[in-house]
Structure 1
Amino acid sequence: MYREESLTAKRARAIIIAAFPEFRGARMELLDEGWDFQVFEVDAGWLFRFPKREASVAKLNMERKLLSGLGEWVSLPVPSYEYFFESHESSIRPFAGYRKLPGTGGDTSKMVDRHRVAQQLGVFLTRLHTYPVDKAREASVPEARDLVAHWRDKSHEQMRRLNGLNVNLGLLRRYLENDTPVSFQGSPSLVHNDLWAEHILIDTCSGGVSGVIDWGDAVIGDPAIDFACLYTWYGKSWLENVLAHYRGKLDAEVISRSRYLATCVAIHCITLGRDLGRAQWVEAGYAALEYVLAT
């Protein structure tokens, strides 16, 4: 129903103005583009997300519904959509916009106060992981029961494409094959599921977290996937600092699962970065592998 395509800034501008004439005369530019979405910045104060494929449309609808209730529950700012366009009589895919949150991505910020951020994220994830699962299901958040198995299988497929990088592939393969942790047996929680540093906004003055963005991959599943993404940022010791401020239930294998999942998502980050020409994703994935293999 919806073709896979990307928009030029000129085309996106015409679409936004046709749907919301109040933005006529506003300055617009492409801010970012990933696998699922293009993001256009409007007058330096609004972000409009355009899905690139049919599955991405479903993610956008889920994200809007989820964040409408989640914002009042969690301890850090999240996007609040104020604009949404959908027309069954038009070939234009649904798109939505929200006020831009302040700060820069943690992957590029030079101002990260690691201790403060660890404390903030520990509290934030406590709230996120205790969000009522029934409400998440009402927002059409999908279930992901066995993330360890999912990422293990994906990593085995993607390992073939890591040739040419300065990575000990033999060590990596042995770890993935021989050290697979037991899958999560606890009650599933709402998880962000893509909590890389670039999705954690850092205040340029305080060095603390000013917001958490990009919720299109949220699922109901193992909380360790969120800890895994934090593992990729500053490693095991920093994750343990985060967990010192976490008040949710933690099982005995959470660190080992987090490390294993961190390895898998790092491999995915490298391969996806190569596919999309995103050098910073490749670099982030490679840095993450250095953390997990050094443990």
Structure 2
Amino acid sequence: MGATNVWDAEWEVDEEQARKLIGKRCPQLLSKPVKRLGWGWDNTVFLVGNEYVFRFPRRKMAVDSIRIEGKLLPKLEHYITIPYPKPLFYGEASDEYPAPFLGYAYMPGDFPIGLTEERRALSAKTLAKFLRRLHAFPVREALECGVRQDHRNLTDIASRKVKLQDFLKKMERHLSPEESGVIEAYLSSLQQDRVEAVNVLLHGDLHFKNMLVNQEGIVSGIIDWGDLSLGHPACDLSVAYSFLPPGARGVFFENYGEADGETKLLARLIAVYIPMLILMQAVDDGNEAIAAEAKSNMRRALSD
């Protein structure tokens, strides 16, 4: 899709460079093999031995996020009800690499790709309780750690709708007429331009590529906290639409706490918006499995 995608790296680190940087900061890990696991928009991820995962920023805008993670993630321990990666190693920027990096204990699990609707429903209570506690974290304490406040203008429905319409045109040949038609009809039905601002601590990027499940398909880990921010809870609550089937949403909101109509409206929109972005990158990468899962997330989000 071109060389100017928002997910394109501004710099990269390969396995050999990662091994040297990790070894310099953590000599006790020098003897362990280093393997690249993958990459997202902001970070390249390496497995060290079978025990640790290191994340290296690949864009300037991810540098502050890594620093905030290092400060805030340890403070969430008494709030988070699902396992998450806690920083164990911290590397500073240097002449060898222009950004700080973090190392965590490796978290076992699989990405929730291709799960049945029945298995997805098993995580309704787990996800709801996780988000209820996360969103209860003190806003002031998050601000003291440098967390950004609604830097993505989450409550602006009108501009997000315009962007989605543009994305839909770009992805037209990768979607069936039925898939495109459902999304177009949904966007046409959106009449509200904005919802009232609310600030809670957000994971900020809660989708299937940042979740792990156990052998039963139940969510067992939440990873990639690079979008920690303050903003509207709908950003995270979108998982009730993209991940959970319609029949499980009642259980989810019973355990999270009832959300008003504006919150649910925005949550559903974000549940279409984020998978559309994932689809765009998956097409660019040629990753058919991720593309198929992104499509299923959008279909689920628009199911009642």
Alignment TM class, shorter chain as reference: 0.7 to 0.9
CA contact (8 A) 2:199 2:231 kept: yes
Residue 51, structure 1, aligned to residue 51, structure 2: no
Residue 210, structure 1, aligned to residue 191, structure 2: no
Residue 198, structure 1, aligned to residue 209, structure 2: yes
Q: Corresponding residue for 2:241?
A: 231
Report the identity percentage.
27
Unaligned runs of 5+ in 2: 1-8
Counterpart CA distance in 1 for 2:217 and 2:103 is 26
Q: Corresponding residue for 1:41?
A: 47
Where in structure 2 are the equivalents of 1:124-143 lying within 5 Å? 124-143=130-149
1:40 is displaced (CA, Å) by: 0.3
1:240 to 1:31, Cα distance in 2 relative to 1, 3 A? same
1:98-126, CA deviations, whole angstroms, 9 ceiling, x for partnerless residues? 1112322223678x854542111111111
1:209-237, CA deviations, whole angstroms, 9 ceiling, x for partnerless residues? 32211111122111112121331123332
Where in structure 2 are the equivalents of 1:1-295 lying within 5 Å? 4-107=10-113, 113-144=119-150, 145-149=153-157, 151-164=160-173, 165-168=175-178, 169-181=180-192, 183-185=194-196, 187-204=198-215, 207-247=217-257, 250-295=259-304
Aligned-partner SS, 1:151? helix
Does 192-201 or 49-58 show the bigger shift?
192-201
1:156 to 1:140, Cα distance in 2 relative to 1, 3 A? farther
* TM-score computed with the length of structure 1 as normaliser: 0.88
Unaligned runs of 5+ in 1: none
Aligned-partner SS, 1:131? coil
Counterpart CA distance in 1 for 2:114 and 2:54 is 22
Counterpart CA distance in 1 for 2:250 and 2:41 is 31
1:68 is displaced (CA, Å) by: 1.9
Counterpart CA distance in 1 for 2:121 and 2:162 is 35
Counterpart CA distance in 2 for 1:207 and 1:285 is 18
* TM-score computed with the length of structure 2 as normaliser: 0.85
1:41 is displaced (CA, Å) by: 0.4
1:253 is displaced (CA, Å) by: 3.2
